C-alpha cells in the first residue's frame, strides 16, 4: 500500500499502529552531537571487540575452510540507511554452491503473509535447509557468523545497534510503511534481536525496527548492547 502525497494512508497507519501521519524522514540523520557520540561508540566497541576476539575469528575462519570448499567469508549485498546498498560480511555457513532461490521464495512468502515463520522456530531460516554445513550450523547457533559485520561497523555502513540489514529481494516486496526501517543504519544487534528474534513474525520485526528508529537514543543503544550477550548465550530465538 503506497503512501499518498507523502502521507501514510489510513490502512498503512492501521496496519502497524502508527500514531504519526508522516513517514519517518529516512535521510535526515540525527543531531550532530548524538551522531558523533554514536560513531565514537561504534568505533571503540567494534575495534576493541575485533582485537579481543581475533583468535576466535581466525579459528572460525580455519574451521570453515577445513569443513567445506570455498572462502571463509560470505559477501552479500544488503540495503541499509536511506535504502542505500552495501556489501555485508559474514562467516560462510552454507555450501559455496548453495542456491538462494528457496530462501528468496520463503522470505517473499513471509512478507506477504502466506508462510508460517518456520513452525514458530525460525523466522529467516528454512525449517529444513541442507545447504548449511556442519560448522555453519554451529556458528549460527552461537551467532558467530555475524562477527565479521564488526568490519561493516568500522566502515560506517552499519552501527552496533539498529535494524537487521535487509536483502534487496526482500525490500522489493515491502509495503511502503516498512521503508521506515531505513531511517537509521542497520545494526549488528537491535531491538528485534533482544526481543525474541526468530520467535517473532516478519511484521513484528519491522514494527520493532520502526519503534527503535522513533525512540533511538544512546541510552537505548547501551541497554540493547547490555542485553545482547545474555540473548546470545541463552540462544533465545537463535537458529
- Greater confidence (86 vs 116) lies with 86
Beta bridge partners of 161: 189
pLDDT band, very low/low/confident/very high, at 6 (cuts 50, 70, 90): very low
Is the model's pLDDT at 1 over the cut of 50? no
CA angle 225, 18, 213 (to 5 degrees): 25
* Chain Cα centroid distance, residue 145: 12
Q: What sign does the dihedral 220-223-228-230 (CA atoms) show?
A: negative
- What is this structure's pTM? 0.82
- What pLDDT sits at residue 120? 44
**Which grid cell is 209?**
525496527
Amino acid at each position: 500500500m503506497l503512501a499518498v502525497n507523502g502521507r501514510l494512508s489510513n490502512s498503512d497507519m492501521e496496519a502497524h499502529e502508527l500514531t504519526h501521519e508522516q513517514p519517518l524522514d529516512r535521510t535526515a540523520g540525527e543531531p550532530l552531537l548524538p551522531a558523533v557520540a554514536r560513531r565514537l561508540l561504534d568505533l571503540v566497541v567494534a575495534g576493541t571487540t575485533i582485537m579481543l576476539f581475533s583468535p576466535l575469528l581466525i579459528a572460525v575462519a580455519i574451521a570453515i575452510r577445513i569443513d567445506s570448499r570455498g572462502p571463509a567469508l560470505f559477501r552479500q549485498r544488503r540495503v541499509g540507511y536511506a535504502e542505500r546498498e552495501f556489501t555485508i560480511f559474514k562467516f560462510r555457513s552454507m555450501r559455496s554452491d548453495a542456491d538462494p532461490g528457496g530462501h528468496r521464495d520463503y522470505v517473499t512468502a513471509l512478507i506477504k503473509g502466506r508462510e508460517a515463520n518456520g513452525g514458530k522456530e525460525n523466522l529467516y531460516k528454512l525449517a529444513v535447509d541442507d545447504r548449511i554445513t556442519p560448522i555453519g550450523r554451529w556458528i549460527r547457533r552461537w551467532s558467530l557468523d555475524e562477527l565479521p559485520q564488526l568490519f561493516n561497523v568500522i566502515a560506517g555502513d552499519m552501527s552496533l545497534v539498529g535494524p537487521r540489514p535487509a536483502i534487496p529481494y526482500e525490500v522489493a516486496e515491502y509495503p511502503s510503511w516498512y521503508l521506515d526501517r531505513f531511517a537509521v543504519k542497520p545494526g549488528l544487534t537491535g531491538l528485534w534481536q533482544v526481543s525474541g528474534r526468530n520467535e517473532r513474525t516478519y511484521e513484528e520485526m519491522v514494527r520493532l525496527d520502526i519503534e527503535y528508529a522513533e525512540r533511538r537514543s544512546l541510552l537505548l543503544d547501551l541497554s540493547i548492547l547490555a542485553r545482547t550477550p545474555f540473548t546470545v548465550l541463552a540462544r533465545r530465538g537463535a537458529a
